[in-house]
Amino acid sequence: MLKKISQWLGGLSGASSGAAEPLAQICLFGKHPGWDDHMEDLGLVTQRLVDVRRALYAEGIAGNIDSGAWEKLGPDAKIARFDHAFVWRFGPTEFVYGRVWASRDARGRDKYPMVACFHGRGLRLEKMAPRCAAIIARLVGACRSTDDAHAVRGEFLRESEAAKAQAPAFIGESVAFDASCLKLAATDAALLADAGEGLTRCCYSIWREGEAAAKAIKAGTERGSHTRLPVLDIAESSLGRGGSAWVWTSAAHDVLSERNIPHDGLLAIESLESGHVDLICCGAEGRFAPTELFCLKAARSAIPAANEVPYTIEPAFAAQVRARAASWASVQANGGVNA
């Protein structure tokens, strides 16, 4: 077993985010009671996972802790604890799904969370999205139930082997996944209320913030852009925890692509406690400023969701959204997320 763990920690899985072959790789990092400080990184063997850890944890979360930004929020404007699911999509075939939850180290310091990630590439998302959510959920539960570092390493190894064993059966293109997600957005009752005003506002905010991110890409800066969106009424069995994050990445990609707005990655973070999704359109080279993650602990009273903001929207734009939503709703997504 020690040999197997050393192979995972040493990167002998041969995984590289620059390679084209299919991939299923799990990692763990952050705070856990089994370690005196930040735990040793487990499974951080692809460049993509290294980048995700840097952006989310070492720069984003650490930056907001060090600056005291979250401490300045009043009690009614602050989300008390980390409890999030996220989806970071880098194109049609590559993603990182993860969970962020409140934790502590052996000394009781609890400002930093623990994070579990699943890096996938070349896998059919309609099959892998719920499966990777289940794998990560089991790993989260196991980490929460023990204070022992050795037990965490053992659970990590078991789930890593399970992920790699399952992945070959799901290699292929995700031809129906995004269409299924778009249909979920276009048929959500809350978004369609008042002649689809909620969906129109959300699409408008995505378009506006996407343009800001596109300017950052053109300028070669890493500044991204952020918009807050509502959680949708989605059965957990179809996409797992964080299902709305998957749906909003699909919707955002469609909205931005229709208007020829480039982006270098879409990160959607669903607050499982507060019921909203924070969407970040990445700037140049898939990066964003640490301040974009201020949203992680900002409640709806501090940052409202786009469907709650009374934007002034041109009638022509609203008509385009209604037409787009009609096309999303009419798609027959055979083999999609509910198949």
Sign of CA dihedral 191, 196, 198, 203: positive
In this prediction, residues 53-75 reach a mean pLDDT of 96
Q: How far is 40 from 30, CA to CA, in rounded Å? A: 8
Closest CA to 248 of 289, 292, 280, 274: 280
Type of residue numbered 197:
E
> Which residue type is seen at 238?
S
User: CA end-to-end span of the chain, whole Å?
Assistant: 37
Q: What is the DSSP string of 318-333?
A: HHHHHHHHHHHHH---
Please give the helix or strand (H or E) that residue 280 lies within, else none.
strand 276-281
Condensed to tens digits (0 to 9), the pLDDT of residues 113-171 reads: 999 999 999 999 999 999 999 999 999 999 999 999 999 999 999 999 999 998 999 99
206 CB-side CA count, 13 A: 32
pLDDT in tens, 235-244: 887 899 999 9
- At residue 335, φ and ψ (nearest 5 deg) are 80, 20
Rg (CA), the chain: 19
Residue 336 banded pLDDT, cuts 50, 70, 90: low
Give the integer Cα–Cα distance in Å for 197 and 312: 11
Q: Is the pTM of this model over 0.85?
A: yes
Write out pLDDT tens, residues 173-229: 887 899 999 999 999 999 999 999 999 999 999 999 888 888 877 777 767 789 999
The Cα-based distances of 304 to 48, 71, 228 in angstroms read 31, 19, 7
Q: Which of 25, 2, 27, 3 is nearest to 13 (CA)?
A: 25
Largest CA distance in the chain: 64
Quote the mean pLDDT of the chain: 89
User: Given the structure tokens 């023990």, which residue do they identify?
Assistant: 146
Q: How much of the chain exceeds pLDDT 70, in percent?
A: 91
Residues in a beta bridge with 96: 88, 119
Closest of 151, 134, 133, 150 to residue 142, by C-alpha: 151
Angle at 177 between CA 174 and CA 181, to 5 degrees: 160
Taking alpha carbons only, the member of 111, 324, 80, 96 closest to residue 206 is 324
What does residue 99 show for φ and ψ, rounded to 5 degrees?
-125, 140
Pairing of strands 266-271, 225-230: unpaired
pLDDT the model gives residue 339 = 41
Which contacts qualify for 54-58: CB closer than 8 Å, 24 or more apart?
55/287, 55/288, 56/86, 56/100, 56/115, 56/293, 57/29, 57/30, 57/112, 57/115
